[in-house]
Amino acid sequence: MVDGRKEPRMGDERSVSGDIRVSREDRPAPVIGRSGSKERSAPSRSGERRRPPAAPPPPRKRRKRRSWFFRIFYWLFVLCIWAVLVVGGIIAWYGAHLPPMQSLEVPKRPPNIQILAADGAPMANRGDMGGAAITLKDLPPYVGKAFVAIEDRRFYSHFGLDIPGLARAMMNNLMARHMEQGGSSLTQQLAKNIFLTQERSLERKVQEAILALWLERHYSKDQILEMYINRVYFGAGAYGIEAAAQRYFNKPAKSLSIAQAAMLAGLMKAPSKLAPNKNIAAAQARAQLVVQAMLDLGVISPAEAKAAISKPATVSGSVAESSGNYPADWVMGLLDDYVGPLDGDVIVKTTLNSKLQATAEQALDQALDKSGAKLKVSQGALIAMEPNGAVRALVGGRSYADSQFNRVITAHRQPGSTFKPFVYLAALERGATPDSVRDDAPVTLAGWNPGDFSKEYRGPVKLSTALALSLNTVAVRLCAEVGPKSVVAVAQRLGISSSLQPNPSIAPSGRRSWPPRLSCRHSAPKSPKASSSSG
C-alpha cells in the first residue's frame, strides 16, 4: 500500500511465472454514445458496472423509403408541369389560327325557301340546307334526346368536352394504331360543322375543343342541341332534321315517330353510308341501337322501345322526286325580282292547286304509258291556267328525278294555236274588228297548204268565230294582210322574248323556221270583204 492506495495484485508475488491477464470481471463494459460510437463505461462508485442502455432501431431504412417516395413525387410533379406547358403551347399555337374570340359569331344558317300551294300544302324546298329550321320545342321530346342518347349521353352534364369519352377514344385509337374514334361531344361536332372543315388532324381537334368551350359559354344546352339538329348532314343532300324528315319520310319533323327519330339520329355515324334510301337494312340496324340507347337513358318506356324495334321505319316517297319541283324551279328563277337578297327563311305561296297538280302528273303518266312507245316519246309536259293567268298545275316532265328540264318553261317548242291571238291583235291594230269576215277556204303558199284539223271549210266567217275555232286558214290570211313582221312586233311587245322569225308559218303555229325564198302569197279566191297583200 502506497499512500493508502491498494495496488492490484497479480497472482502470487512470489511466483515469477504467474498469469498476468485481465479477468472478465476486471474489463469495463462498452457505452454507446450519441454519435453511435462505443465508449467504455467506468465502474460505478459502488464498484458495480452499469448495464448498457437499449439501442434505438436504426433509422436508415425509413430514410431510404422517404427518399424514394420524394423522388417519385418530385419527378411526377415535374412531368405534370412539362405536360401542362406542352399542352398549353399546343393550344396557344393552334388557337392563334382562330379568329379572335371577342369577334367570333355563329354564322347564319343559309336561308331556306319553302314553296307552298294555294291551300298551304308544301310543294318543294329550295336552298343549301334543303329544309327550314325548326325549334326544339316544336319537336316531340324524344327527337332531340335520341341524338343525345346515341351521340353524347353526358351532354347535359359536361362542360363541352366529354373527358371520359375522349379518354376511351384515345385508348381505342392506340389499340387500333390509327384514328378510329373521335370521342367528340355534340358541342364539338357542332363547332366542327359551323366553323371548321371535316379534316382529321391534331390542329382541327384542338380548335374544335376550343370552339366547343366557347359555344358552351355563350349558349345554353338546348340552344346548342337545336343548332346541331338544324345543321348536321343526314345524307341524300339533306341538311337539318326538317329536310331529312321530308327527304326520307315525306313528313314534317314535328310528326316523326320514335322509330323514325331513331333512324335519323343513327345516321350521324355515317350519313352517306347509312342513308336509308340506299341502305335501308343498315339504317334499320343502327336505329335499333339508338332505340336501346334511348331506353337505357330513360327517354322512352320499354313498351315504346319494343314497338319501335318490332316496326322499324321505312322510306316513303320523297317530295324531292315530285313534279312540284318543276314549278319550284320556275319560282326560284323569279324570286330575285320580287324579294331580292335573302337574310332568312322565306315562304312563297303560289297559285298552284295541290290536288290538280297531282292529277296533272297522273294524267301525263297515263298518256305516256298509253301512247309514248307508239309516238317514240318518253317525256311530256302539261300546264293548266285560269283566264286571269293564274297557273293551277304545271308538270315539266314525267320524272323530276330523271330529268330536271322544265319542258313547259324552258323548252323551245312551237306554241301552236296559242300564238294566233298575236296575229289577230296585229290585224285589230290595222283596222280589223271582231265582226270582220274572212274566208275559211284552202290556201297555198309556195307549195305549203295549211289546213284545219277537221279538214272541213266553213267559208266566210267572222274573226271572232275564226279565233274561237282556231281556224288556220284565216290566221294565215291575216298574216298576209298585216305582214309577219307586224305579228312578231306585237308578240315581243307583249313579253315574248324568244327569237322569232317573220315568216308565214308563224301565224298558225308560231313556227320560227321557213325557207327564205317563200313569200306570204295565197291563191284562194278573194271574197268581197277579204284583202290580200304581199308579205
Lookup: cell for 442:
284552202
Phi-psi region of 117 (alpha: psi -120 to 50; beta: other; left: phi over 0): beta
- Helix (H) or strand (E) run with residue 330 in it: helix 325-338
Known catalytic residue: 361? Answer: no
Three-class SS of 373-400: HHHCCCCCCEEEECCCCCEEEEECCCCC
41, 399, 417, 470: the catalytic one is 417
Q: Would you state the torsion angle of the CA atoms of residues 268, 270, 275, 281, taken in this order, to the nearest 10 degrees?
A: -100
DSSP 48: P
Which residue intervals of 233-279 are DSSP H helices? 241-249, 258-266, 271-274
The C-alpha cell 318543276 sits at 326
The C-alpha cell 341502305 sits at 279
- CA–CA gap between residue 397 and residue 388 (Å, rounded): 24
Instruction: Please provide the distance, in angstroms rounded to a whole number, between the alpha carbons at the two ends of the chain.
Output: 180
For 418-458, the DSSP string reads GGHHHHHHHHHHTT--TT-EEEE----BTTB----TT----
* SS3 state at 31: strand
- Of residues 219, 214, 209, the one with CA closest to residue 185: 209
Lookup: cell for 108:
347564319
151, 208, 361, 481: the catalytic one is 151
* SS3 state at 223: helix
Instruction: Evaluate whether 533 touches 504 at the Cβ level (below 8 Å).
Output: no
Q: What is the number of other CB atoms lying within 10 angstroms of the CB of residue 308?
A: 26
- CA–CA gap between residue 450 and residue 27 (Å, rounded): 158
Sheet holding 346-349, edge to edge: 122-126, 113-116, 346-349
Q: Would you state the torsion angle of the CA atoms of residues 185, 191, 194, 198, taken in this order, to the nearest 10 degrees?
A: -70
Q: What is the number of other CB atoms lying within 10 angstroms of the CB of residue 194?
A: 16
Known catalytic residue: 25? Answer: no
- CA–CA gap between residue 332 and residue 338 (Å, rounded): 10
- Label residue 513 exposed, middle or buried (CB < 10 Å: 0-12, 13-18, 19+): exposed
* SS3 state at 412: coil
Helices 141-151, 221-231: inter-axial angle, 10-degree rounding: 90
DSSP 348: E
* SS3 state at 148: helix
In sequence order, the 6+-apart residues with CB closer than 8 A to the CB of 462 are 434, 435, 436, 437
Residues identified as active-site: 151, 417
